[in-house]
Structures are given as C-alpha cells and as structure tokens.
Amino acid sequence: MADLLYERINTNVRKYSSFSEEDLQYFNSLLQHRTVPKKHFLLQEGEVCTFEAYLLKGCIRTYHIDHDGNEVTLQFAIEDWWVSDIISFHEQKPSHWYIETLEDCELLILTPETKEQLLHRVPAFERMFRLMVQRNLSQLQERFFRTVSSTAVDKYLDFLNRYPAIPQRVAQHYIASYLGFTPEFLSKVRRKLSTPNPPKS
C-alpha cells in the first residue's frame, strides 16, 4: 500500500533526474502524507510557507488580494503538480499569497527541515528542484508575454488549450481572475466563442 502511495511522485521526480531505489526510499521516508478538506487555507498572506506539496488528489488555487479587494489568481494546481510559495519557503519570509484547496485534497509534503535533509543526503534532488523552478519561471514569463500581446479571446483559448481539465473543476470567476478579466467580461468572451459566425459590427 505504501509503495502505491509513493508510486506517482517517484515517477514524477524521475522525469528530472535518475535516482536509485535507495534514494527514492529515503525521499519517501521524509514525505508527510496529509489529507485536507475543500475550502481550507494551506497558506494565508502574512504567514510563512512551511511546505512544498505534491498533489496526489484534488485542486488548489494560489491567489493574492490587491489593494481594491480583488482576487488575482496566480496558479491552479491539480494532480501531479507541486504547490508552494517558493520565496516564502526558502527565505522563511511572510507570504504575499493565499493557497486554498478548491476540492478535498491529498498531499505529500516536504518541510524546510526535511528538504534540507534530502538535499544533503541525495544531492541529485538539487538538480530536480532547480529544473522545476526553471520550468515554472519559463511558464510565468510566457504567461506575462501572452498577457501583454494577446487578445482576450486568444488568452482564453490558450488557457483552455494548456489546462483542458481545469475549467471543468473550478468556478468561472476564478478563471476570470487568472486571466485578468472581470467575470462579466469572461462571460462575453465565452458567448462570442459560442456564437457561430457572429455578425460583424
């Protein structure tokens, strides 16, 4: 049963580097298995992030509340994704973000202490986490470019193409906040896409 619990995360980390069975057994021994109910905050603004979590089951949203009280969604995460506030986790500084479960979730968690033990014992994990950070940075840069260079329709279509499973699992106003739209504007975009050969104005 324990082997099945760690099978997916072991497959995930092997995408980034080669690990022996002994390496993976040690890695697995450091992970905390946690179940978290829907609508629970894993992190709130002002708190220090104490986890890097691999999502076995569920859906999670990371967002910020701006000065006008609007929620700005940074990221959605579903199965086989990692979730954390990297800056707060590594620098042990208060976070600017909220990380909230949108569904009942099952997680495997590293703390700052257990991650340090892991990197000391198995240095190859340093490369894995570095590659993960590079990938995330690349995705954020691409997202910024699309934000300033794409039309609203193209932004929405790109979101659907990149994350086809997410729209079925999260509320539309969360997607709007991810895209930088109001919910009303997203509704207009969706209506435009659903109208065959809309008349030109």
CA distances 147 to 11, 80, 140, 144, Å, are 33, 26, 10, 5
pLDDT, residue 197, reads: 61
Encoded tokens for 4: 């099945």
Predicted confidence band at 200 (pLDDT cuts at 50, 70, 90)? very low
Report residue 137's pLDDT band, with 50, 70 and 90 as the boundaries: confident
- Segment 45-50 shows an average pLDDT of 98
Instruction: Kindly state the helix (H) or strand (E) to which residue 21 belongs, with its residue range.
Output: helix 21-30
The pLDDT mean for the chain works out to 93
Give burial (CB, 10 Å; 0-12/13-18/19+) of 151: exposed
Confidence of residue 24 (pLDDT cuts 50, 70, 90): very high
Are 169 and 54 a contacting pair, CB within 8 Å? no
Over residues 68-113, the pLDDT tens digits come to 999 999 999 999 999 999 999 999 999 999 999 999 999 999 999 9
- Phi–psi pair at 199, nearest 5 degrees: -65, 140
Q: What is the pTM of this model?
A: 0.90
Give residue 60's identity as a one-letter amino acid code. Answer: I
As given in the structure block, the two tokens for residue 191 are 């209506």
